Amino acid sequence: MRLGERGGWERSESRYCGVETDFSADVPSLLSFHISTGGFDYVLAPLMNPSYRPSLVEGNGSETQALPVSGSDLVLSPSQWSSHVVGICFSFVDSEDEVLRMDSETTLKQEIAWATHLSLQACLLPTPKGTSCANYARCVNQILQGLTNLQVVYEVPLVKSDGDSMGSEGLTDSWELWNSFRLLCEHDSKLSVALDVMSTLPSENSLGRWMGESVRAAILSTDSFLTNARGYPCLSKRHQKLIAGFFDHTVQVVVSGKPVHNLPKASDSNTEGSQRHPLRSYLDYVAYLFQKMEPLPEQERIELGYRDFLQAPLQPLMDNLEAQTYETFERDSTKYIQYQRAVVKALVDRVPDEKASELTTVLMVVGAGRGPLVRASLQAAEETGRKIKVYAVEKNPNAVVTLHNLVKMEGWEGIVTIISCDMRFWSASEKADILVSELLGSFGDNELSPECLDGVQRFLKPDGISIPSSYTSFIQPVTASKLYNDVKAHKDLAHFETAYVVKLHSVAKLAPSQSVFTFTHPNFSTKTNNQRYKKLHFNLPSDSGSALVHGLAGYFDSVLYKDVHLGIEPTTATPNMFSWFPIFFPLRKPVVVHPDSPLEVHFWRCCGSSKVWYEWSVSSPTPSPMHNTNGRSYWVGL
């Protein structure tokens, strides 16, 4: 039974819970017991008898012998194999014993071939026995090259010991084991990881790294459960938080091990009687954890399809926006409430109460679109009792049609003048007291707000007000395995040198964000130069362990006027605002960063006669290539 169906969640938001089993030659009975009786959604089961060794059957008519698999493919329908069975492989590929190593390579390839034949969705690979995994990774990488749909899931214990102390099986940090294997397998998108959740968890910072990795499953051993006051299994608060985080990242949960809780005798009197599955109480608790999660807010539901989906940023100067894009932005009421608050404060500062009926404030909305800022400005004037004259400047002729209809419909003919022109080339008949614009991009200046506002400030009075008055870009290093693989799938340089707008979800934010570039308006400097350079140092928390940086997440924060701000920088983000997703700058080669070795990032904003672009690189702990030199792959056209 889907965990989600128990809590009234939508089918698309369901999560599933599997159970790890021993080898069985009778797969239909195995499924009947664990799925029909136990209520689990699927089983993790060995595909071949663990005692099988190819070298022991060679020379004994091996060519006529069938592989010791768990039954014929005909015992289940293809859909049952695909939906209800995940294979478990056995491997000793890195054994010092040559015969055992060769046997293991042969068996592993046979197991994967059989899993592919059955159309299984995934196969679980065991954790390597030693510290070296090179030969194991080589064998798996060979297998990955021939796969199309099957996911290979690498199992590692969730361990990160403090200092030099050793954790499970001599490991100090299992992430290092996963990272070595993943890098040796060339970051293959068909390779993911399953985490064995232990009774003791690493620090929050250490756990956070995994949220950016391709974690497919969390294997919960019955030993990791506590016992509640009624004698039933439960998890610690930290374990509950971890599992909730996994659910939010569509990670499936697997229950493993023998029952270790002696349930109260009262449970024997239930209607299921002797047929109750021995691990059912563990499944019920996992389902309870999912049930008690808060349903997603409406806006988050709308944005589900955009999670970790790479989009090219807008080119607002080169291209005219479509009606659908305007409509999406106009639905963001929070943004326009903030703009209205800023205009209210500016009008009050501009015109004292005693002169409110005498003075008329000239307000120019540059980049008026279909009129939401015009409306917000007029509402601010009404709220403050100030008289205003509005110029709505818009270059998109299609949006100008809408503006004319809006003015006529609202009866604003005597107040609003529409100018169909690129703001940079307009010759205004009078100067403005207040200049209002909505030109910010996900990185603040990436939609050329500096260049546009520099071009229009010539018709702002010397003591005039610009809304926004300033904006600052921010970046932070992230682990983002999915985003990296999506970029890598294009198999070219250009996509690694392009910035993407993306609703970040399956990412690990490795260090607090830092400010990059700040622009202030109006800027009456005689030598206006919008080129910028910044060097930044990021330090991982000391208890996090090492991490792999796939790229840089970018944000902005803007001061509209005085204490009214707008932004998406995580620590100061404006609540309930959805007009901007963060921006993502990928790295061609991911960089391993250790807590004792800071990440040194260099960032440039470059300007040419017809375009503006960014360049970025990492110089420490290991140098990366320079990205997007001369704007060869990605730029914003003037």
* 166 annotated to a ligand binding site: no
Q: Is residue 447 flagged as an active site residue?
A: yes
CA distance 374 to 474: 29
DSSP state of 357: T
* 387 annotated to a ligand binding site: no
CA distance 165 to 156: 18
* 42 annotated to a ligand binding site: no
Positive or negative, the CA dihedral 303, 305, 308, 309 is negative
533, 604 in Cβ contact below 8 A?
Answer: yes
Angle at 606 between CA 601 and CA 607, to 5 degrees: 170
574, 568 in Cβ contact below 8 A?
Answer: yes
Output the DSSP codes for 478-508. EE-HHHHHHHHTT-SSGGGG--EE-B--S-E
136, 93 in Cβ contact below 8 A?
Answer: yes
Looking at 438, 497, 569, 615, which residue is catalytic?
Answer: 438
Distances in Å between the Cα of 380 and the Cα atoms of 338, 370, 384, 562, 617 are 11, 18, 6, 16, 45
* 336 annotated to a ligand binding site: yes
329 half-sphere exposure, CB direction, 13 A CA radius: 17
User: CB under 8 Å to 492, separation ≥6 — which residues?
Assistant: none
Positive or negative, the CA dihedral 448, 556, 633, 489 is negative
Count of residues making up the chain:
638
Looking at 111, 155, 213, 447, which residue is catalytic?
Answer: 447
Tokens of 357: 């009926």
Q: Is residue 438 flagged as an active site residue?
A: yes
Q: Which residues are catalytic?
A: 438, 447
Binding annotation for S-adenosyl-L-methionine: 326, 335-336, 394, 422-423
